[in-house]
Structure 1
Amino acid sequence: MSKHPAARPELLAPAGSPEAFFAAMEAGADAVYTGLKEFSARAKAKNVSLEELEKMVGYARPLGRKVFVTLNTLVKEGELPLLVETLSALEKMAVGGVILQDLAVWRLAREHFPALELHASTQMTVHNAAGVRMLERMGFSRAVLARELSLTEIAAIRKETTIDLEHFIHGALCFSFSGQCYFSSWLGGKSGNRGRCAQPCRRRYRYRQQEGYYFSTNDLSAIDLLPELSAAGVMSFKIEGRMKSAEYVASVVGAYRKVLDAPLPQRAEALREAKELLKLSFGRLPTKGFLPGGIPTDIAIPALKGATGRFLGDVTAVKGGAVSFKTRDRIHVGDRIRIQPKTDRAGTAFTVKELLVGQRPVKVAQAGSLVTAPSTFRGVFQVGDTVFKVSSEQAFNMSEPACRRKLAHVPPAPRPARLFVALQDDLLTVRAENGAEGFERRYAVASYPASDSPLNAATLRAVFEKTGGSPFVLEDLSTGELPAVVIPPSRLKEIRRDFYADLLLAEETREKKERRHQVEAALGALLPAATPRPARERQFTVGIRDIRDVQIVNDPGIDRVLLPLTPGNLQGFYRLGRRLAGKEASLVWDLPFFLTDGQLGDYREAIRTLTQAGFTTFRLNNLGHFALFDGLSGLTLITGYRLFSLNSQALLAWRELGATEATLYIEDDRENLGAILRRDAGITPALTVYSTVALITSRIPIRNVRSDTPVVSDRGDGYRVDSRSGLSVVTPENDFSLIGRLGELHSLGCGRFTADLSHLGPFSEGGKRVLDALRRDTSVPGTSIFNYESAME
């Protein structure tokens, strides 16, 4: 593929519902992305069924548009059979591409459904050229880049790579790197990486005596930067919003279409008009994010409530389910409003079906009016709650039933037909020469000598071109030598109808059989479950932060030490080289998951220096790390839990990419862990059994917030914000621990355990308590088991 900017970048719109799909189509989107009921990172969106998806593909294809499908969640072991069936269905309907996060999707598609085009989701946190090159090796056709990159960084990636680059241009931003947030899961088991984020980042918190929305970002709006994005090498401009309404999609797609299509002399006016359109999208304050370069000062402002919508006012009275407020903007019956409490609870939205000014029912109320909006919600609202308008019926007004009816009338995908026709002894032979196997039928006919206009190829072509209600399109028709006869037109039409009906049945039967064989082969290749058996040995790894603590490896109960590969620790290695002699096999160098392109060269050189000194074991935390080990052999590569291992197919993928040990996912629960461990993927499983959990890892600085004082939620939960290596890391005050359950985990089949004490230090009082508990396998007071005993959603 070309490295040069696309002449006309693709405008890619969200389609979280059939209504949003048609809104995107009508507003001029070149492609849409949508989710199914399963495996979608927006599980709370309406999403679509496979039947609806097939109709969407059928509607878009004749228009030259594409439909991409998001399978961008982590997949549990028990969901692999459903994933196989889903991939088969998507390949059959020839979707434009599949957007994925879990390497189980990549591996199954590559092995069994090779016609699927694969796009790497932004959830994979691909953020440098090494990561994109790795995707190229793996057969991906597109990378959806992390949203934390500048135009300069994107251009550097483009210079070194060839696959398509996609980037978000509009919509909600996550405070954390996508795919690296565990906040929602920590609070209640609702994993953002499983599509069920409860958005705790949008809530209000208190730091010292100052309340604010410390983790809530404003919305991305890059409408001023489209030429620069294209010049940097981005060929697909992506709009966020699969949980947004059709009105939102219509407004935003229309705005960006206007600017993209405007001739250069009219671009300034088009921009002005587009920004007016964007006001109808009811988003948060706009920010260009990281794209201009540097650290954006407007991306997260604690003083601003993290809610979408246009502020209408505060609730002044509540009676039953009805709220009264003085509206700052015009409001219509049919508008949708959300009532947002001042606590950290989620807001409640409803469509205004009745509107009162005083006691008088109205269809529209002007700004400044004191209005009452009844709802079915009782006991939910309070005086002082905030009212936002989140959508208007004015932008797109095709109803959900109307959209579904329109989908239902989409014809099936056309099927090409190449026919051969012959006539001999009053038997008309019709053969479809489609593919390797022909399909033939013979029909008895009554023919009559022709005085003029005998049967010929043109006559037969005219008959068989009219395929009626069948999906066939006649591409070619040839004949043998035809006698000079006439066959009644009514009989030819009857033959045409019967032949196309039989041909369709035969093709569908053949396709179903082939698809079933394909699915059975994929299901048969899934690893069989075995009886749980204890791991052969227990091995303990202790994580430290500073190389000065490396002597903990002399503890007879400790097998390995996990040490961050940082410039400081590398300098310590140069100073302590002699003291580390003989400990090379016991030291695991841990790579930081976020590395800019400017850092890659230094880390590649550091890895070679360490391997030359005899160190052989490294833990990788991003897909781009694999390329740093090109040309090196005899090493032990371990995947960290940031490289998701929630099923056996992912484990097989890591093994194929060169890893010999994989850390299972930190959010996982006992049931799924047991299911994974019952399958032999040929790679050693490991588990983090003690750690502080980085609930959020972000490139966004949180100004004036220090780690010595926690940020506290309305529920009283405390979180500490630590700034390190240009990143903000938010951790809970209580640590994660499975110590006390090591015997159970060992019996399930896992024997390699990591206790990460980098935040405590192994020689601190807290570190010593954890190590003592580790030796005795007794629980550590004041810790959380995360999702271990309650299934992660």
Structure 2
Amino acid sequence: MNKPELLLPVGNTEAFFAALEGGADAIYLGLRNFNARDRAKNFALNQLQALLKESEKQNKKVYLTLNTLIKNNELSQLLDTLYLLSQTTISAIIVQDLGVYYLLKKYFPQIPLHASTQMGFHNSIGANFAEKLNFERVILARELTFEELVKIKKKSNIELETFVHGALCYSFSGMCLFSSYLGGMSANRGKCRQPCRRIYQNNAKGKYFFSLKDIQLIEQVPKIMEIGISSLKIEGRMKSAEYVYRVAKAYRMVIDNPHKIEEAKQILQYDFGREKTTYFFGQNVKNAITENPFVGIHLGNISEISKNNFTFQNNHSLKIRDRIRVQTQDGMNTNALKIKELHHIDESTTIVSENHNFTVNDKVFLIGLSEKRFKNKFSKDGKRLQTQMPKRQKQNILAQIGSIKTPKIFTIYARIDSLKWLRKIYFDNINYLILNLPKKEWADFDLQNPFLQKQIAKLVLQLPKFISENNIGFYKSLCLLFYKNGVRKFMISHISQLDALPKRNDITILASENVYSLNDVAIQFLKENNVDSYIYPLENDAENLQKGKDRKGIVPLFFHPELFYSRMPVEAENPFSDKDYEYEKVIKNNITRVISPLPTSLLQYKDSYYKVGFRNFLLDFSFEKPSQKRFNRILKKFHNSTAEQPSSNFNFKNGLN
């Protein structure tokens, strides 16, 4: 049995040395731009070079994360970064954006590529498609069962990487819009503000409905090793060096000695994460949500406070330089501090500290130990690199990307998520109808119906964002059935679904907003892969859209964005709210979607978009109650270029960060 690679996160220099000391085979890290952990310290260029030199000495691999979505005004800086990386000995680059992939493959083909979990690969079609694109490795979605992992491995040849330890996002990675919706801080651009860790009010009670426990698969490592997974990944680029060392040591122990699971579990007791779950690897995910979204070991509650100290019941042996966190009773505020002075009396501990406005019954958590220190400086910086691509070379590349051509035909796309809408829509008033139906409704869709046969040229079959391994056959057959009955337009919701469509020359392929076309280079990739049209991302902003050369995409003007898109069920009843907004959950195909009942309406900007060359527009009636009156109202406002109220404009005016 081949041993898998043990891959550790590194957010700073100390964590790098901790990973090596703990037994990592490889580490992954980010520079100070274009990575999905914007809040981690990350690395400067001179540090990267020194780190690579040290890694080579110890025969360790280094993967660099470049796994965010890129805006049009960032393409020049992106090219500089790629040019710089091409001068290094980096082992691979981890990417999300199809534009980043395109530039690397075309202009820097010598650099190996890994498909980030942000790309959303989750089945064997995806794994095999990634191999066709010459990715070296696919980092699979965290939401897969062990049985699905086995099937994907059997049906594919590409290297597979899976997460085995660390924090979990509630939504599928790459499919979360919640943070972006709350103020433009996009999870897809490394700026997530963790809405899944918030309290939400439901029936007058506050609860952490979406806060997942941390995944821990230490007991499952021998099974994962048996099926031949290439790399076991640990999450945590914002975690301490101590965490990196401890988790590396535990998983190294089990990889090398599978019978030492219990000993490894003892080490992991002090990773200071949240409660643990095996998530979809286990048989039951009902216990995967935690009521405490914070990390650490609960020591006790404050029993007494004086001017410069506080006391709490405690049966742990705390030391100077240990780190603790004090959490208010309502869970809304926390303060972290390093212990500088303490006194043990019986079972109580008194900590001397400046006054942080703590109160009696506030909870005290242990979040770090002082017992081990790691090197935090490199012996030498690496050689200086050329940080900018030659001007002419950059200009030539950018000149080859995209072109400004205004489409000749004005086109209205409508989208529905229920068969009930078919009786409410006037087909004469739209050009195309996108069918994004739940799986159970397809059986009732009568393609032989004379009325539908008359409209067959207007129908677009959309595939869902997530297709489990067991459902691949169903959706392939569905596409073929629609093709045989005259449908020639198909919309993919993941780039790999190109391989699920009928292999025919007369079909038109469209891409949903989930196949991100945030920049002109990503659009270039889509065009070169036979995608005829594409919906621009819902979290886009006006400046980015208009700064791009492309005008052939579909501009979404009315929609309810799926803020969360998750395989994980939740208890929340509709509606529920945070301090600012109200939300609802909608379950389709066993996927939980969280939406705002308030639509996003950009209808008032239709005329201004038309003036700058856009001709294709989307009115998405998904999550709306089927109503002829509602359809007519939105269509009228579209033609008049007037806003629907009340509504949101998402990031359109305030910007995508």
TM-score bracket for this pair, using the shorter chain length: over 0.9
Alignment match of 1:355 (pick from 341, 347, 358): 341
Residue 280 of structure 1: SS of its match in structure 2? coil
Deviation for aligned residue 1:290: 0.8
For 1:110 and 1:249, the matched residues in 2 are separated by 32
- TM-score normalized by structure 2? 0.94
Q: Which has the larger displacement, 244-253 or 538-547?
A: 538-547
Distance 1:769 1:109, change over 3 A: same
Matched, 1:194 2:184: no
Alignment match of 2:560 (pick from 679, 692, 701): 692
Contact 1:128 1:624 in 2 (8 A): no
Contact 1:35 1:69 in 2 (8 A): yes
What percent of counterpart residues are identical? 31
Q: Which amino acid aligns with 2:18?
A: A
For 2:484 and 2:221, the matched residues in 1 are separated by 46
Contact 1:185 1:191 in 2 (8 A): yes
Residue 155 of structure 1: SS of its match in structure 2? helix
For 1:155 and 1:543, the matched residues in 2 are separated by 36
For 1:759 and 1:765, the matched residues in 2 are separated by 15
Deviation for aligned residue 1:320: 8.0
For 1:528 and 1:543, the matched residues in 2 are separated by 33
Q: In the alignment, what sits opposite 1:441?
A: none
Matched, 1:625 2:497: yes
Matched, 1:717 2:581: yes
For 1:321 and 1:534, the matched residues in 2 are separated by 69
Deviations 1:256-295 (A, max 9, x none): 1111112x5xx1xx22221111111101111111124x44
For 1:389 and 1:239, the matched residues in 2 are separated by 21
Deviations 1:434-474 (A, max 9, x none): xxxxxxxxxxxxxxxxxxxxxxxxxxxxxxxxxxxxxxxxx
Residue 746 of structure 1: SS of its match in structure 2? helix
Matched, 1:274 2:251: no
Q: In the alignment, what sits opposite 1:388?
A: 365
Q: In the alignment, what sits opposite 1:299?
A: 288
Distance 1:532 1:104, change over 3 A: closer
For 2:403 and 2:328, the matched residues in 1 are separated by 51
Q: In the alignment, what sits opposite 1:742?
A: 606
Contact 1:204 1:343 in 2 (8 A): no
Q: Which amino acid aligns with 1:355?
A: E
Q: In the alignment, what sits opposite 2:464?
A: 592
Larger radius of gyration: 1
For 2:386 and 2:289, the matched residues in 1 are separated by 52
Q: In the alignment, what sits opposite 1:442?
A: none
Deviation for aligned residue 1:342: 4.8
Q: In the alignment, what sits opposite 2:645?
A: 781
Q: In the alignment, what sits opposite 1:792?
A: 656
Deviation for aligned residue 1:147: 0.6
Alignment match of 1:372 (pick from 333, 344, 351): 351
For 2:329 and 2:580, the matched residues in 1 are separated by 15
Contact 1:172 1:220 in 2 (8 A): yes
Alignment match of 2:455 (pick from 580, 583, 593): 583
Matched, 1:333 2:198: no
Deviation for aligned residue 1:745: 2.2
Contact 2:439 2:589 in 1 (8 A): no
Q: In the alignment, what sits opposite 2:376?
A: 403
Contact 2:492 2:498 in 1 (8 A): yes
Q: In the alignment, what sits opposite 1:663?
A: 535
For 2:422 and 2:27, the matched residues in 1 are separated by 52
Matched, 1:129 2:102: no
For 1:367 and 1:271, the matched residues in 2 are separated by 35
Deviation for aligned residue 1:548: 4.2
For 2:2 and 2:577, the matched residues in 1 are separated by 50
Q: Which amino acid aligns with 1:675?
A: K
Contact 2:202 2:575 in 1 (8 A): yes
Query: Unaligned 5+ residue runs, structure 2?
Result: none
RMSD after superposition: 2.6
For 1:317 and 1:694, the matched residues in 2 are separated by 46
Residue 587 of structure 2: SS of its match in structure 1? strand
Contact 1:641 1:666 in 2 (8 A): yes
Contact 1:690 1:736 in 2 (8 A): yes
Query: Unaligned 5+ residue runs, structure 1?
Result: 1-5, 358-364, 413-507
Q: In the alignment, what sits opposite 1:312?
A: 299
Alignment match of 1:150 (pick from 126, 145, 148): 145
Q: In the alignment, what sits opposite 1:472?
A: none
Q: In the alignment, what sits opposite 1:68?
A: 63
Distance 1:564 1:276, change over 3 A: same
Deviation for aligned residue 1:211: 3.0
Distance 1:162 1:538, change over 3 A: same
Distance 1:530 1:118, change over 3 A: closer
The correspondence of residues 285-684 of structure 1 with structure 2, limited to 5 A, is 285-292=275-282, 294-301=283-290, 304-315=291-302, 325-327=312-314, 329-342=316-329, 345=332, 347-352=334-339, 354-357=340-343, 365=344, 368-375=347-354, 384-394=361-371, 396-398=372-374, 402-404=375-377, 407-409=378-380, 516=389, 520-527=392-399, 536-550=408-422, 554-574=426-446, 577-629=449-501, 631-676=503-548, 679-680=549-550, 684=552
Residue 741 of structure 1: SS of its match in structure 2? helix
Deviations 1:16-65 (A, max 9, x none): 11110000011110000001100110000011112111111111112221
For 2:512 and 2:307, the matched residues in 1 are separated by 52
Alignment size in residue pairs: 657
Distance 1:583 1:249, change over 3 A: same
For 1:749 and 1:383, the matched residues in 2 are separated by 63
Distance 1:328 1:687, change over 3 A: farther
Deviation for aligned residue 1:556: 3.9
Q: Which has the larger displacement, 562-571 or 221-230?
A: 562-571
Deviation for aligned residue 1:207: 1.9
For 2:256 and 2:195, the matched residues in 1 are separated by 39
Q: Which amino acid aligns with 1:780?
A: E
Contact 1:739 1:780 in 2 (8 A): yes
Contact 1:553 1:559 in 2 (8 A): no
For 2:496 and 2:437, the matched residues in 1 are separated by 15
For 1:289 and 1:567, the matched residues in 2 are separated by 24
Q: In the alignment, what sits opposite 2:243?
A: 248
Distance 1:373 1:326, change over 3 A: farther
Residue 376 of structure 2: SS of its match in structure 1? helix
Distance 1:24 1:526, change over 3 A: same
Contact 2:202 2:577 in 1 (8 A): yes
Contact 1:329 1:368 in 2 (8 A): no
Q: Which has the larger displacement, 770-779 or 167-176?
A: 770-779
Distance 1:625 1:318, change over 3 A: farther
Q: Which amino acid aligns with 2:363?
A: T
Q: In the alignment, what sits opposite 1:84?
A: 79
Contact 2:406 2:552 in 1 (8 A): no
Q: Which amino acid aligns with 1:606?
A: L
For 1:567 and 1:769, the matched residues in 2 are separated by 29
